[in-house]
Amino acid sequence: MTHLNDRARSGADAPAAAARPLFAQIKARLRQDILEKRLPAGQKLPSEAQMQQAFGVSRITVRQALNELQAEGLIETLNGKGSFVTRPADAPRLGMLAGFNEILRTHGRAGAGHTLSTRTGPAPVRAARALKLAPGAPVSVVRTLRTIDGVPAAFVHTFYEPTLGRDILAQRLAQEDAMTLLEEDLDFRLDRTQISATAVKAGRIRGLLLGVPADAPLLYMRFVPYDLTGLALLYSDVYFRPDQFTYRVMVRR
């Protein structure tokens, strides 16, 4: 509670903050505390009455701030118990990269994989652009092969900055879903995933890895997940055998 009072006093006089509605100022302060882990996952927030007193606002203002934080998936409010910071695993799964193994299990199929190589090297242009890095900036590069029921199904080429403890990805990307690792092990809060798809020829090396002719078509997809601050967490090129994996998405009007 102390830090809420301190932040309320220090932030209320800032000209930029004063230009925003009071509920937006409170939401921004709490949001920053959550993203910077001053309010860790699972922690109960002060009561509405306590926040009224700390920020010097009405209960309606406090509730509007909390409602917006809940809409973003940062907190959950339980009747009679209060509001709590949500855990990263509570966030919705975002795209295939979030749940490759999970999707297969729901269809009664077994997913597995192994690491082909890990290294640190200069970022190629496409990865540097996606990660907002200078061309040639150092990145970790992990190449993995995914299988479905023991059959080669996907070749994955992943690039990410070798910071923030993300070296765990190199150790476990072959066996676990990237989004699960980002959420549950590295405590990132995911907001969206940018996905693009096209068809390409396998080529000699990918054909050998996936057990198809060099001129066989592959489903080529690019994945870039972002956290709530807009930070691109990694960039992945994924090449699927279309006879082993089909990507479906529903778009509502």
Q: How far apart are CA 8 and CA 42, in angstroms?
A: 22
CATH architecture of 90-240: 3-Layer(aba) Sandwich (3.40)
Q: What is the pLDDT of residue 33?
A: 84
Helix, coil or strand: residue 128: helix
Q: How far apart are CA 83 and CA 34, in angstroms?
A: 13
Return the residue matching tokens 């979030």: 98
- Between helix 22-35 and helix 2-12 the angle, nearest 10°, is 130
Q: What percent of the chain has pLDDT over 70?
A: 80
Helix, coil or strand: residue 17: helix
Q: How far apart are CA 6 and CA 142, in angstroms?
A: 44
Cβ(199)–Cβ(218) below 8 Å: yes
Mapping DSSP onto H, E and C, the string for the chain reads CHHHHHHHHHHHCCHHHHCCCHHHHHHHHHHHHHHCCCCCCCCECCCHHHHHHHHCCCHHHHHHHHHHHHHCCCEEEECCCEEEECCHHHCCCCCHHHCHHHHHHHCCCCEEEEEEEEEEEECCHHHHHHHCCCCCCEEEEEEEEEEECCEEEEEEEEEECCCCCCHHHHHHCCCCCHHHHHHHHCCCCEEEEEEEEEEEECHHHHHHHHCCCCCCEEEEEEEEEEECCCCECCEEEEEECCCCCCCCCCCCC
Q: What is the pLDDT of residue 106?
A: 63
How far apart, in Å, are the Cα atoms of 129 and each of 83, 84, 160, 197? 39, 37, 12, 17
Give, rounded to a whole angstrom, the gap between the first and last alpha carbons of the chain: 43
What tens-digit pLDDT sequence spans the chain (253 residues)? 445 544 454 444 444 455 678 888 898 889 888 877 788 878 889 988 999 999 999 999 999 999 888 887 788 888 888 898 886 544 444 444 446 666 666 667 777 889 999 999 999 999 999 999 998 999 999 999 999 888 999 999 999 988 756 677 888 888 778 877 887 777 787 778 888 999 999 999 999 999 999 999 999 999 998 888 888 999 999 999 988 877 766 565 5
Radius of gyration of the chain (CA): 22
Return the residue matching tokens 């009679």: 80
Q: Tokens representing 146?
A: 């995914």
In the chain, domain spans:
2-86, 90-240
CATH number of the 2-86 domain: 1.10.10.10
User: CB-hemisphere CA count at 13 Å for 132?
Assistant: 7
Helix, coil or strand: residue 52: helix
Element (H, E) at 82: strand 82-85
